[in-house]
Chains A and B, each alone.
Chain A
Amino acid sequence: MTTPPTISESDLLAFIEDAPMSPDTARAVERAFQADPALAARCRARRRDRLALQRLTAAERAPAGAVARALAAAGSQRDVLARVTPAAAPNAAPVVHTIPVSRIGPVAEPWWHAAIHSPRLRPALAAAAVVAIVAGVGVLLYGAVSGRPQPPKPIASGNTPTQPQPGPAPTPVPVIADSTPGVTPPVPSPTPSDATPTVVAVAPAEQELTDDRLLELARSGRLAVRLNAPDAEQALRLLRVMQTRSRVLAVAPLSGIERSMILADLGQQRAIAQAAAAPAAPAPAAGLSPNGEPILAADGKPLLRSPVPSPAPVPVPSVPEPVFAEQAYVVHIPADAEALRQVLRWLSVDTSARTVSAAFVPLERSAVGGVAPAADAADVLWWTGPTSTWSPRITVPVIIQTSP
């Protein structure tokens, strides 16, 4: 009784991949195929699959310019880091991209350093800190538990306010019983609590956006791009095209609180700009209510009192004009000014039919991180590797606004 031929997966794999086999192995495989035609069919099919996959692969070609784009992207990142200008002449000496090592001199020990590290003073300082903390907590708790009411504001005699005053109590003013109109008591100097609240977010000064300024704003997350387009679809098409550019590392939609913060900032800036162009509202006359009627005291006599003094008219937008931003995106690009300028050029289209304009908009506060968020462990630990692997990136939000 003949035993069935025994072959291993390695033998079959060698057959499938046309690998060299010993004569004995080749004969064993052939006998196995004769004994099991199904096995032979499967192995021959897998061999055809391998050849077909190799043919499929041989036809593939990398996108044109892939190497050039990669070199440009890698070179710009390296130059930004090392601040080395590449040699212009082809036969110039090769540029060595190294970062100069800074010299750190010895630092004199401060006078308090010895005190806090003294074995005798350290326990005393620690005890004093504990006592101070406990005392502070005790004061806070005492104030909260006792719930002592606030002392009432002093009210001048004969002065009965006709309307409840919102917010902090106004500065007491002298009352003139004489109904002579036009008598205006001396106006006390305005207190900070009486001052009309001004807009906190003031539009940044209109300074020229130099390359250094652009980079500074972008690194701190205070630079955005406002993209004005006839319709959102065209703007999105431009963004998709920009995604294919070599200097653009990624384009992603922006949402959540970051988007809200940027839109609020842009709305504030627009409202401030419009309010500044509007004429200032006239101040109300003395002794008159806002609707022009004289203010009467409890005894029916006109109560002449100066209005709450206000400083010089300041544009106060009650509600920021809504920004018709339909979509917001963030663009991750290398941290250099040229990449920033290129983004603007790529997003600006001026044709006879349509015009899409893009402009840098400095933000008052940082909405997105100036440095691109980490995508993987390598991004987080980039600083632990050699300097040649450092790749700083910046994130710039792009706000699409459509013209109604």
Chain B
Amino acid sequence: MAAEVVPSDHSDPSGPPPDPASDDGHASDASPDDRPLLDRIAQGDQTAWGPLLERHQDRLFAMCLRLVGSRGAGREVAADLLHDSLVKIIQGIDSFDGSAKFSTWATRVVMNTCLSHLRAQKHRQHASLDDTSPSSGGSQSGNMSPITIDSARAAAPSGASLSREPATVSGVQSTEEARRLALALDALDVEQRTILVLRDVRELEYEQIAHLLGVPEGTVKSRLFRARAALREMIERLPARLPDDADP
């Protein structure tokens, strides 16, 4: 007997997007040392930028990489976007009023930079699949197109990303899983990929994501649930065996 799953109500009783002022520290993204560095920067001490940015650069780079995709020259593009984002963070620090966490504000800068890049490139992940017709979205599994060997080869992540497997994950099976995951993530549409990146890569809380996207928290959960379903379905649609050649 199948369980009845009640979909989340988009008009969540929790109401409108949360007030940015309520964005206080959270354990998953806690950076208690940011405040002293930010105070030094506010006083004109430029030497505080180094430790502040180095603390967040890896996560921000991973965010860029997952948003723009790791296929082909994705790592170079992600590095460029990270550079642009860091410069904007440095130059736009005056617009950071401190009501939200620095990490959340920096994430917003990176997200806007990456999304602007994707819009400029007219990047459509669905175009990499067999279905060449423009797709209006990908939140529903019925709109997904089958993934073939050719499209999988074209969307395969670059070999450089595979060499950066964590030391705790070893074996051919784990590498293959990582490739399938990266490939499936690249194939998602921008909205779904963005929310997954914010949650799993940037490890933001629901209210932080809601604040960034300007939607209620219930909508965040609903979109996240559907994005995870889409990711799982995309992984299952991949060929049983990915081509060994990871370069497009």
Contact = CB atoms under 8 A, between A and B. Distances in A.
Q: How many residues of A sit at the interface, in one of the four size bands? A: 35 or more
A122 to B, nearest CB: 45
A385 B95 CA distance: 9
Interface stretch (A51-59, A163-171, A193-201, A275-283): A51-59
Contacts of B82: 62-63, 66
A71 B90 contact: yes
Contacts of B76: 244
B93 interface: yes
Contacts of A33: 3
Nearest to A90: B47
Interface in A40-95: 42, 45-46, 49-50, 52-63, 66-71, 73-75, 77-78, 86, 90, 94-95
Q: How many residues of B sit at the interface, in one of the four size bands? A: 35 or more
Return the 10 tightest CB-CB contacts between A and B, nearest first. A32-B3, A70-B86, A94-B44, A62-B61, A74-B90, A60-B62, A62-B57, A59-B166, A9-B8, A9-B225
A13 interface: yes
Q: Is the interface of A mostly helix, strand, loop or mixed?
A: helix
B245 interface: no
Interface in B38-63: 43-47, 49-50, 53-54, 57-62
Contacts of A50: 200, 228
A39 B2 contact: yes
Nearest to A63: B79
B5 A7 contact: yes
A46 B166 contact: no
B207 to A, nearest CB: 13
Contacts of B181: 49, 52-53, 56
Contact of B8 (A8, A74, A385): A8
Given A53-B200, A66-B57, A77-B91, A8 B46 contact: no
Nearest to A2: B1
A36 B3 contact: yes
Given A9-B225, A31-B3, A55-B168, 11 more contacts: A6-B4, A7-B3, A9-B7, A13-B224, A36-B3, A46-B231, A54-B201, A67-B86, A71-B49, A74-B87, A386-B95
